[in-house]
Amino acid sequence: MTAASTEPVAGEPVAGEPMTGESLLGEAVNGLPADFVWGAATSAYQIEGAAAEDGRAPSVWDTFSHTPGAVAGGDHGDVACDHYHRMPEDVGLLAGLGLDAYRFSVSWPRVQPGGKGPVNARGLAFYDRLVDELLDKGITPWATLYHWDLPQELEDAGGWPVRDTAYRFAEYAGIVADALGDRVTDWITLNEPYCSAMLGYYQGVHAPGRTSFPDFTKAAHHLLLGHGLAARQVRERAARPPRVGITFNPVVAQPASDAPEDVEAARRADAVGTRIYLDPVVHGRYPEDLLADLAPYDALPPVEDGDLETIAQPLDFLGVNYYFRNVVKPSDEPHGYRSVQQTDRPSTAMPWEIYPEGMTSLLTRLTREYGDLPLYITENGAAFDDTASPVDASGRIQDADRIAFLADHLAAVGRARAAGADVRGYFCWSLLDNFEWAYGYAKRFGLVHVDYATQRRTPKASALWLRDAARACRAGDGGAPVPVE
């Protein structure tokens, strides 16, 4: 079954009525204000392709994905969605869906191939054109500076466990701010440092595929230091007053039972998955219980004088990525927990448990513990087996499961707002089906189906549903958030 016979018209409203989900609209946007930001998100390595074009050099993900056995199906990002060549068409899709904002990431090895030294003007020019194209279509660009594609040369010099990488990142951030800061005002320094540090340097399932626990904490600390240094650079060098934030994917940990060892495993997961990032960035300190957990493994973060002040730069907003919760039990591994699959619960194709309640509890917890920062959902979405969904006469995938997922999670955002969380926008992951890291192309998160053989794009029913949700939201007003009791 294919789903590729509809030709989307770039820049024109995407025609068609969602076949499912209309009844979900009201509940989904209830509690969201008329000025709520509606967007979609992507990242450079997952969609751009053109891996060796116009002076781009390899990143850790080029190396990792070409390592036999590292990625399902031997997939890699050499071509991906060919977005590098099809960018105007893809911006047209965003415009057709009537979205307010687009969150993309800038590829460091495209802009500064060696991770230091000369700027690659041809690479930088791509983002210049992208920003202009977005603004021309009335779409606000949200630029993420780092979404995991560390230049391979820097990894060869030690990668994120080495302090110098943080300074190299700040230099690169300044270059991008110089080039785009006259038009981009919304900046995200890092995407999900948890994944770069934990999955990349300790669990070895993401690039660069290393497996040292002390390297994980060194990487985490230097990523945060890089965030603070980069935030300063953006503020100093962007021509228009910027809003600077960082995106985390906090671990939403719940004990598998009331047993003290499960409760302790949940504390460990929260410390090493959530507070290790949020506490230094927001409060300027590492949590005491985390430091006690790390000490026996010779894995204390390598903090130098002034680091915590640098890391705790003022934030204009916090980006929150939420997909699922982690129900945990203890493990003997240094991070102290393992996740237990909830086999009796609905899940996506990953298979990640579908648990919208976790969105509400996460957002209200962030508000309680980290203050009244504006929050944006910078990613939420789902991979489903779209080949199992019906396809209508025009070739459009009727992905009712994805619509239900989005509706339930948006309603959960509304409930968090009602409980006092200042959530101001929602970016769906993802605009396009794309390279899902170690899962390759087998997992499809897109609002828009991509036929990788032809590169034809076809909006799924969920894309039209999100368009309609945004419209319904703009037409009403769910009201201002009320303070937490």
**CB-nearer residue toward ligand IFM: 321 or 342:** 321
51-90 footprint of ligand IFM as x/- string (CB under 6 A): ----------------------------------------
Minimum distance from residue 325 beta carbon to ligand IFM (Å) = 15
Active-site residue (options: 48, 133, 155, 192): 192
What is the chain's percent helix, strand, coil content, to nearest 5?
A: 45, 15, 40
Q: How many CB atoms lie within 10 A of CB 397?
A: 29
Q: Is 353 in the site for ligand IFM (CB under 6 A)?
A: no
Question: How is residue 43 written in tokens?
Answer: 């990242």
Q: How many residues bind ligand IFM (CB under 6 A)?
A: 8
Q: Which of residues 28-47 bind ligand IFM (CB under 6 A)?
A: 43, 46
> Does the annotation mark 379 as catalytic?
yes
With binding defined as CB under 6 A, does residue 321 bind ligand IFM? Answer: yes
Residue-wise burial string across 226-252, b where 16 or more C-beta atoms lie within 10 A, e elsewhere: bbbbbbbbbbebbeeebbbbbbbbbbb
Between 193 and 414, CB nearer to ligand IFM: 193
Tell me how far apart the alpha carbons of residues 119 and 109 are, in angstroms, rounded to a whole number: 10
Q: How far is the CB of 120 from ligand IFM (least distance, A)?
A: 23
Whether 264 is catalytic: no
Binding residue for ligand IFM (CB under 6 A) from 36, 429, 441, 465?
429
Residue from 133, 153, 379, 436 carrying the catalytic annotation: 379
Q: Rounded to whole angstroms, how far apart are CA atoms 288 and 403?
A: 42
CB of 364 to ligand IFM, least distance (A): 22
**Residue whose structure tokens are 């068609």:** 16
Least Cβ distance, residue 437 to ligand IFM (angstroms)? 6
| Binding to ligand IFM, residues 184-203 (CB under 6 A) | 192
Asked whether position 379 contacts ligand IFM by CB under 6 A, the answer is yes
Which of 149, 262, 422, 436 forms a contact with ligand IFM (CB under 6 A)? 436
Distance CA 408, CA 424 (A): 17
Work out how close the CB of 358 gets to ligand IFM at its nearest, in angstroms, rounded to a whole number. Answer: 15
324 lines the binding site for ligand IFM (CB under 6 A): no
Q: For residues 438-477, which are near ligand IFM according to CB under 6 A? A: 445
Q: Cβ of residue 386: shortest distance to ligand IFM, in angstroms?
A: 15
Q: Cis peptide leading into 208, omega within 30 of 0?
A: yes
Question: Which distant-in-sequence residues (6+ apart) come within 8 Å of 423 by Cβ?
Answer: 363, 375, 376, 377, 413, 416, 417, 481
Give the separation between CA 37 and CA 413, rounded to whole angstroms.
Answer: 13
Name every residue whose Cβ is closer than 8 Å to that of residue 447 and which is 6 or more positions away in sequence: 40, 97, 381, 402, 428, 430, 431, 432, 459, 460, 462, 463, 466
Please give the positions annotated as active site: 192, 379
Which residues here bind ligand IFM, judged by CB under 6 A?
A: 43, 46, 192, 321, 379, 429, 436, 445
